[in-house]
Chains A and B, each alone.
Chain A
Amino acid sequence: MVRLERVSKSFAGIRAVDDVSLHIQRSAITILTGADGAGKSTLFKMLVGLVKKDSGAILLNGKDIGGDYSLITSVCGYMPERFSLYTDLSVEENLDFFAAVQRVPARRREDLKKRLLERTGMEPFRRRRAGALSGGMKQKLALSTILLSSPELIILDEPTTGVDPLSRIEFFAIIEELKREGRTIVMSTPYLDEAEKGDNIVMVKDGRVLRQDSIARLREAFPARLFRILPRGNVFEVMRGIAADPELAGRTHMRGRHIHYLQDGPANLGLRIPHREMVEEKPTLEDMYIYYERHP
């Protein structure tokens, strides 16, 4: 649906987005993941025209939008990173306001509002001020306001950051439902377990795309084998020993009381680690992200 071709943006000489090409597929969930400051928010802001790109092209349904961002904003709903609704207004007043500014016909408003409140489970809170809602509720309200205009493309910038685990699950269930309705969703998250749920995962670091594909294909193309190692002795002490070994240090990371070793050569260097148990497992997105971050 939307394609970004070699898009770049710098702020005061620092490249926030560096030569990024990206394909946002129709009726799918595309998830951008990466550390804070990776350039995810800037990329979204460029998509909706809040930040002007320095170079590259944005194509909507195969056509270059040029400088006319209204082509995108007319079909999309954008939810910024921070809660950006009016905290002094009630849930219902926020919905009324955004319905009006999004030109939702008055006759459809009530019905739409009712359906959205039911869908997000916010009906009992319709008269509560937005500022008094919990983090999860706030995000659901923000999502509801952008759904008022029934957008084809939904852009969500870190919608689950700072939200409790249960609300995150509920929020994602709504996202899945929207996908089933045929909407195109592009979102960002710092949580790699959440990013795994995307149809297309885009790993970002320092404004550049490290890898992008489905989780299955990412695993398929992953050049390393993962070994989960239960070390002998204290895991922190073992990790300190690993830090002194440059060959191992770049291929291991701690995960709870285990150490994950990524073997990308013929020799299993993990055997150097004093261990009680070593099991080969399927790499998670986190393993892959850490690997690509170290070996871009």
Chain B
Amino acid sequence: MKLFYLIKKELIEIVRQKELLVLMFVGPVIQIIVLGYVISSDVRHVPVGVVDLSRGRTAARIIQRVRQSPLFDVRYESGRSEDYLHLLKKGEVKAVLVFRDAAERPRAPLHYPEVQILMDGVDSNTSMIAAGYFNGVVRDYILDDMKKLGRGLPLTARATFRFNPQLRSINYMGPGIVAILLTIITMFLTSASLVREKEQQTMDTLLISRLSPLEIYVGKALPTALIGMIDMLIGLLVVVLWFRIPFRGSIFYLFLACLVYLAAILSYALLISVLSSTSQQAMFFSWFSLVLFLLMSGFLTPVENIPPVLRLLADINPLRYLVRIIREIFLKGNGIAYFWKDLMALAAISLALVSLSLLRFKRFISK
């Protein structure tokens, strides 16, 4: 009963802060929609410059294909030799495609100009993908030519993409954004809650009341968990209805994974709250942690890219497991048989964090 009143008190305090309420329930919708469009690994409309020194028909045809492709925006065209590096330095284009006449093979059956791609390597990821796209354009042109001559490649590998046949990056990112959202809302709300009690000195009143440390702890965590789950549900609806991302798995498993994850993240947030003396400190801790969690979660870049020395940090990062599970459930429709190891790892991390946080909280109370 006491716990019920504590939870009720927490919920009233949250609900009475109208600005916070808007941030909690409208913010996530905006956040998912914006992030959904912004965080995309699809490379489109790469600004390129074209320099055709060969002035041949082949070069003109390839350039035409580049122009028609939605992957490139031809922003600059020239027919004379110049300082291409200067074009890249100005930043108006990300790549310069230079077509030169291949003088040594003018009478070959398939006569092609020499093609040079000068890429701006600052954004290495985009550059690599754009270079790949351009090679694809050239390769397709050559294959079409070979077909006309009745020739073909002796071996071709045809790729079939399952689970995300259109290779939409939002399908990959969307479920991850839901996991991030769950983390942001619960971590920030919970880490601020105990500190607020300390700042208002209501903590003293709670401590000498007849509430046990466990009751205070659970009373603080449960309301945020509830809000987190509601937000997650809102997030799910947005990614499914707005971005048309197929949800192929079981909602039950998704909630189960989120609950296990919440135990970990709420314990971590309470630990921040116990260690911080002011809201400012708690906010700083939370931001710092969130960035680390995010970078080591596999949400943006594969965990496998992390150097082995830092891999341990990724291994104990609860967000990493949730991101993986949520993608498995969403896109592949996998059941627990496929991700039980991740779920167990998440449960182990949760257990460790709950124990550590509770221990620290009890020590804080008995100080």
Contacts and interface: CB of A to CB of B under 8 A. Distances in A.
Contacts of A52: 367
Interface string B1-24: 110111011001100110000000
Contacts of B12: 88-89, 93
B156 interface: no
Nearest to A103: B210
B202 A84 contact: yes
Contact of B5 (A49, A100, A145): A100
Contact of B201 (A80, A102, A103, A106): A80
A36 B115 CA distance: 83
Nearest to B16: A88
A91 B48 CA distance: 67
B201 A101 contact: no
Contacts of A101: 2, 5-6, 206, 209-211
Contacts of B205: 78, 80, 84-85, 98, 145
A84 B9 contact: no
B21 to A, nearest CB: 12
Contacts of B367: 52
B204 A100 contact: no
B85 interface: no
Interface size on B, as a range, is: 20 to 34
A102 B210 contact: yes
Contacts of B5: 96-97, 100-101
Interface in A164-198: none
Contacts of B200: 82, 84, 86-87
Contact of A89 (B13, B17, B206, B211): B13
A93 B5 CA distance: 10
A255 B202 CA distance: 39
Nearest to B201: A84
Q: Is the interface of B mostly helix, strand, loop or mixed?
A: helix
A82 B207 CA distance: 15
A50 to B, nearest CB: 6
A13 to B, nearest CB: 18
A73 interface: yes
B202 A86 contact: yes
A203 B14 CA distance: 43
Contacts of A80: 201, 204-205
B208 interface: yes
A262 interface: no
A101 B208 CA distance: 10
Interface in B301-334: none
Contacts of B208: 48-50, 73, 78
B284 to A, nearest CB: 24
Contacts of B209: 98, 101-102
Contact of B207 (A50, A89, A145): A50
A50 B204 CA distance: 7
Interface string B206-247: 111111000000000000000000000000000000000000
Which residue among A50, A82, A98, A101 has the maximum number of chain B CB atoms within 10 Å of its CB? A101
B16 to A, nearest CB: 4
Which residue among B6, B202, B209 has the maximum number of chain A CB atoms within 10 Å of its CB? B209
A103 B202 contact: no
Interface string B40-79: 0000000000000000000000000000000000000000
A148 B209 CA distance: 12
Contacts of A48: 208
Given A97-B6, A100-B1, 14 more contacts: A49-B208, A50-B208, A78-B204, A78-B205, A78-B208, A80-B201, A80-B204, A84-B200, A84-B205, A86-B200, A97-B8, A100-B5, A100-B6, A103-B210
Minimum-distance CB pairs A-B, first 4: A100-B5, A84-B201, A88-B16, A101-B209
Interface of A: 45, 48-50, 52, 73-74, 78, 80-82, 84-89, 93, 96-98, 100-103, 106, 129, 145
23 contacts: A45-B204, A48-B208, A80-B201, A84-B201, A84-B202, A84-B205, A85-B202, A85-B205, A86-B13, A86-B202, A88-B12, A89-B16, A93-B12, A97-B6, A98-B205, A100-B2, A101-B2, A101-B6, A101-B209, A101-B210, A103-B210, A106-B1, A145-B205
